[in-house]
Amino acid sequence: MPFGNTHNQLKMNYSAEQEYPDLSKHNNHMAKVLTPEMYASLRDKQTPSGFTLDDVIQTGVDNPGHPFIMTVGCVAGDEETYEVFKDLLDPIIEDRHGGYKPTDKHKTDLNPDNLQGGDDLDPNYVLSSRVRTGRSIRGFCLPPHCSRGERRGIESLSVEALGVLDGDLNGKYYALKDMTDEEQQQLIDDHFLFDKPVSPLLLASGMARDWPDGRGIWHNDNKTFLVWVNEEDHLRVISMQKGGNMKEVFNRFCTGLTKIEELFKEKGHEFMWNEHLGYVLTCPSNLGTGLRGGVHVKLPNVSKHEKFSEILKRLRLQKRGTGGVDTAAVGGVFDISNADRLGFSEVELVQMVVDGVKLLVEMEKRLEAGQSIDDLMPEQK
């Protein structure tokens, strides 16, 4: 089995104190929670596939974090990780997901009819709309821990299922290792291609092993529905299009996901899901819906307003640069998306994005006209 200290028995020769990591300079969720006592009580445990505590925390030990950004600092190697190491992961989940308790239940709602509006975001401001999530196939280890055979198994199951999609969802799979130069260039131009991870947060967890074996990109002919295979999760599913019709994007998202789930079930496979954690993914930050719904929107005036951060916070939204997480905004264009993942349903989260972005655009127009936005200030959602 690959990567990390999977030979757990050897470590039992040393005391917990001798093995306990030095977290004195660390600032991530794992370091906040992992006391020496907790380390001692969990370190002789492993999941059925052999994933150990040290495997879970390696990325957090290797990446002390940033004084301003709080990273998670741990990953799951399989579905059982969240159960076997719940003493560590429950408090992390609670801290990361706004107080979500170990006894809380998560609601899944992928019925796009439940979304109100969302088809009329002003395209003069909203340049593009996108919804993404991830899915894991039950019975297989997750990217930090899977073997080559498993990863290839995930790939072939996914390619088979996606091959059945038709109509608006008819598409094609491009395996990273067999891609021609032309195909690669086209995927880059479409902004579809993902590359071998360079972030030490990901590399330290073992997700990039055997690259590019078993990795690939599937997309429909219309280039509005995209699936990444074996990048940071088994599957990342993305629905996107230019303009502000989030309703259409979300429709396609739900339809596509539901169809894919059915196709997997027909072959005797289900997605990892339970009523407490929702959809189970590699990083605890993506539990629940794993959903990030967002837009690229022009907010040059609002973004300079002193209350911009406060407004986003009340709307339960977050801003990123248009290059994605950890990038800066360019030319007043921001990536605005939901901040939450767990404890709200898919419909609820996309509703927040739709309502919130509508309000932000209205504010932008007011400020453009030199008017005040004080009466538009939202309540905390």
- Interface ranges with another protein (CB under 8 A): 1-12, 14-15, 18-22, 41, 45-50, 54, 58, 61-62, 80, 83-84, 86-87, 139, 147-150, 152-153, 177, 203-204, 208-211, 213
Residue 54: phi, psi to the nearest 5? -65, -30
Helix (H, G, I), strand (E, B) or coil at 282: coil
8 A C-beta contact, residue 145 and residue 233:
no
Measured from the CB atom, the residue of 193 and 203 that comes closer to another protein is: 203
CB of 172 to another protein, least distance (A): 21
Q: Please, what is the minimum distance in Å from the beta carbon of residue 207 to another protein?
A: 12
Residue labelled with tokens 């339809």: 255
Which residues face 226 on adjacent strands?
219, 238
Minimum Å distance from CB 150 to another protein? 7
Query: For residue 86, what is the DSSP state?
Result: H
Q: Which is nearer to another protein, 198 or 328 (CB)?
A: 198
CB count, 10 Å around CB of 313?
15
Q: Smallest distance from the beta carbon of 60 to another protein, in angstroms? A: 11
Residue 284 preceded by cis peptide, ω within 30 = no
* SS3 of residue 319 by DSSP: strand
Residue whose CB is less far from another protein, 10 or 369: 10
Q: How many CB atoms lie within 10 A of CB 366?
A: 17
Q: What is the DSSP letter of 27?
A: B
Q: How far is the CB of 105 from another protein (least distance, A)?
A: 19
Minimal distance, residue 22 CB to another protein, in Å: 5
Instruction: Compare residues 80 and 248 and give the one whose CB is closer to another protein.
Output: 80
Largest CA distance in the chain: 71
Minimal distance, residue 261 CB to another protein, in Å? 19
Distances (CA, A) of 23 to 17, 26, 77, 364: 13, 5, 22, 44
Nearer to another protein, 93 or 373 (CB): 93
Of 42 and 349, which has the nearer Cβ to another protein? 42
Nearer to another protein, 22 or 374 (CB): 22
* 342: CB partners within 8 A, 6+ apart: 93, 97, 100, 106, 277, 278, 287, 288, 289
